Structure 1
């Protein structure tokens, strides 16, 4: 193989590599867009929180002191004011109020718990 044909072959290889990179980049960006659309479809736009609702506050300090059986939600608190961009002022039963991020709140569902139990009797099989 002479230098001229070797140079042309190398030139074609470089351009082929650039085409492969371009195709991989486009494919990757299409994949990322699909994943983003799928993720965004599954997200709730906002929580339906209103002033006066009872909510639980996520205790972020529990991450520092992990405990399998520790309760990570505190409350209930009452929503006092809702600000734009997700900030919410909540009030505890002692009338102390503070502002938190709305992502740290979830609706408190109170009510009676149905005491009905299902009892399964286990029998040993007869051989």
Structure 2
């Protein structure tokens, strides 16, 4: 009788050991996954007052245009609130509040107010289609 109790006790200990190993392995796997995920995140620069930003236009999801940009702007940041709220102002002077997750910093590469010149079509460069 004593052997049966000790056998059951040993079986219980082995089961407990397997559960601890499974928990440790899942915890190691979760830690690795979190470390990989965190390493892939972009380093976000905090938006500050007087920064120029672009606003994500979510309405383009309904009517997608292949070559249409989903970002509008540039806007200027007037005030930054805690927890991600930002007041921005456009060139017309209208001010409104948006979530900072829908903003990205404007680098000033292309300005929509710049003058554009039409392309001239050169009749000599167009081939007549003979092959």
Question: TM (normalized to structure 1)?
Answer: 0.64
Within 1, Cα distance between the matches of 2:71 and 2:50?
19
1:22 pairs with 20, 23, 33, which one?
20
Aligned residues: 109
> Which aligned runs of 4 or more in structure 1 are off by greater than 6 angstroms?
7-11
Q: 1:27 to 1:43 in 2, by over 3 A?
A: same
Q: Which runs of 5+ in 2 are unaligned?
A: 112-131
Residue in 2 aligned with 1:103? 101
Pick closer, same or farther for the CA change 1:18–1:86 going to 2, 3 Å: same
- CA offsets, 1:31-63, max 9 Å, x none? 212222333344345324332222111123334
Distance 1:46 1:14 in 2: 50
Task: Tell me the distance in 2 between the aligned counterparts of 1:44 and 1:22.
Answer: 35
Determine which of 46, 57, 60 is the counterpart of 1:59.
Answer: 57
User: Which TM-score applies when normalising by structure 2?
Assistant: 0.62
Structure 1, unmatched stretches of 5+, are: 114-127
